[in-house]
Structure 1
């Protein structure tokens, strides 16, 4: 029996956001490739209530605690600020106690593979016979560089990560000039660390094949792969062309304490929404996603017909009757899973160059890629008012996802690593 240790910076369940969905995909497809494998999850706990939702795919779970106050401060001051060795997010996730536990577990279990979830846990690497895999998610250093251009629309550049900072630092981290300095520092530290740590691992994974190829050229790593989220469309036979939808309902989907999602809805409400309402007075804009910040909640009061739902039990059910999904992302990296998922459900998408990055779909056929605000308004209005176009794009988007993001396609890529 193969043993596989999966080290995660949060529980890989339940499926409440894009990253957890992807981690769940890894678990599912690992079991499909190696049905007799035993998966041991060593994980930080983002919310204790999630522990009861442990899927059967995980045979055992070993929980680890966040570093204590003094260790976080020491790591940040010494390894991040003085030595410039670790990004801040490595400093606040690393503890010697956890490292000893992980090393002891690896030695005892003698796994065939050890998978590390994001650079935040990369410092827990150990010398052992097992094959090691680092899942980067995407290039966080590039994401942070892009954030610097859009500070006006970002309430907190650290998003949910701010909760991991020592309490005394959280207030200071909310000051814009400090945020800017820290994010610039973190971007530089991440860029250096992302590249230097690559050599420790046998295989590297990104969500975007395009980003994987780019990084492979930089670090000259033999095994660097893009494995996007597996998304199996609801249908691809044309019957979906008759889907029923509300011609006035526009949605945005995403975890609403993450900077790139917050900035997208702030920008949309300020720059795009008033122009849409001018031509379509009955239109309504739904912001769907858990953990809306105070600033996001305020959008309901600031703009007409904006509804912030917060976390919903079934995202698909909530958005399936939408005329379209909007994704006016100002910054970000990798493939935007929310866009591909909406396309798989037959919901037409209006986005921009950042949103479509890594998605090699055809403009005006599979989705709309707007070059400026005026184009975005026009594309929205076309999908609200042209049922034939809406149905055509709905079917085309399903066909596109079926060809590029199906379970078969993504599992074949994972098999290249788990041989």
Structure 2
């Protein structure tokens, strides 16, 4: 079942039509990927007629269709074959496992690329609709680009990040897996991801380092865009830092993630003890949805607060001395750092946490190479209020100028529209 719904009466001739093919929805905006899709659509609609193409459970088609009315001009919502029945789920789950064993890819690659957005599905869509460009969120469905490109429709990939880096981090946690097998699986994944890049006419990187990496592996004819994760620093994330009586620090990020769980644990077990030596009353707040029992157990110390999901997280974060981020791994983009810096909350982080993000050190973000150094920087913010205020103002100033919606997603859509105009001109000449 495929449901097509138009929300705008705007004529196609008014603006070029951009199709956004995505298994990630622009709501409820709890995750970084949902935030990115939301802001991408918001910026795109200023320059394009936006058609959002997605696949969801058959039970969710109507509700998703209704919610998409605020985010696009037309939606094409397909009921995923994966969820048609219990038998269908079992059959596809088994096939996804075999696919994963054979290719080294994840099961999600199979579900998205071989079931939900397979080339036949795209061919059906293209037989009834006309697009000027197609934007893919993630590369999982790269095989379907051939259908669009055969019709002269350019395909653009928003990478979100280089996925083999996060896959490597995932496998590192599998203690049962031999090191040789881990290396082989990562090599398989790298090969598949690099091959997928070659199937797109343009690629969007969110991280400066990852932009340089992609440039090494794609043809010179591939257009590369740099579009970091922006935030509404002029609106909901505007400066609002508040004074405090009890020194409070926070780790901020979804706690369903193994990586974030490790960071949160380091904050409690390795960074805060240094702070507690001089400020025993200081608190650490672990702010994020879906904390597992291992994280909730840290709350046995009354100075450790585990919140779970919070609706009005800005009001809480605004009271913090700083947000701690002892991240490991030079990949991706920590959009949560941009949000808290927008509020004027200083960030104390490892160098990896902001690698490739174009954040100037000491301008709202302080870097420490070890947990000991991070603790010392955190204590300095308590001991020197004037220094803390300076860092607070510079935090907001830096992200206001670099990471507003206009300077990130807005600039990207302006560049995309210009590239498409130039491309059409060259093809017509």
TM-score scaled to structure 2, two decimals? 0.81
TM-superposed deviation, 1:335: 2.1
CA distance in 2 between counterparts of 1:275 and 1:9 reads 43
Per-residue CA distance 1:248-294 (angstroms, 9 max, x = gap) = 11111111111221111122222112222222111111111112222
Report the equivalent of 2:371.
373
Report the equivalent of 1:177.
176
SS of the residue corresponding to residue 43 of structure 1 reads strand
TM-superposed deviation, 1:122: 2.8
CA distance in 2 between counterparts of 1:19 and 1:13 reads 10
The answer as to 2:123 corresponding to 1:103 is yes
TM-superposed deviation, 1:370: 0.4
TM-superposed deviation, 1:27: 0.1
Within 5 A, what are the aligned runs for 1:19-418? 19-34=33-48, 37-44=49-56, 48=60, 51=64, 53-58=67-72, 59-65=74-80, 67=82, 68-77=89-98, 79-82=99-102, 84=103, 86-96=105-115, 98-99=117-118, 100-128=120-148, 129-146=152-169, 151=173, 176-178=175-177, 184=183, 186-221=185-220, 222-234=222-234, 243-301=242-300, 303-331=301-329, 333-410=331-408, 411-418=410-417
Unmatched tracts of structure 2, length 5 or more: 1-11, 83-88, 421-429
Unmatched tracts of structure 1, length 5 or more: 152-174
Report the equivalent of 2:28.
14
TM-superposed deviation, 1:217: 1.9
Q: Is the 8 A contact 1:250 1:286 kept in 2?
A: yes
CA distance in 1 between counterparts of 2:79 and 2:344 reads 40
Q: Is the 8 A contact 1:44 1:66 kept in 2?
A: no
- For these two proteins, the number of residue pairs brought into alignment is 387
CA distance in 2 between counterparts of 1:136 and 1:384 reads 39
Q: Is the 8 A contact 2:97 2:107 kept in 1?
A: yes
Per-residue CA distance 1:224-269 (angstroms, 9 max, x = gap) = 222112224359xxx9698434551111111111122111112222
TM-superposed deviation, 1:98: 4.7
TM-superposed deviation, 1:137: 0.6
RMSD: 2.8
Report the equivalent of 1:163.
none
SS of the residue corresponding to residue 417 of structure 1 reads helix
Per-residue CA distance 1:283-342 (angstroms, 9 max, x = gap) = 1111111122222222212x4411111111122222111111111112351221111211
Q: Which structure: larger Rg?
A: 2
SS of the residue corresponding to residue 251 of structure 2 reads strand
Which 10-residue stretch deviates more, 132-141 or 86-95?
Answer: 86-95
Report the equivalent of 1:157.
none
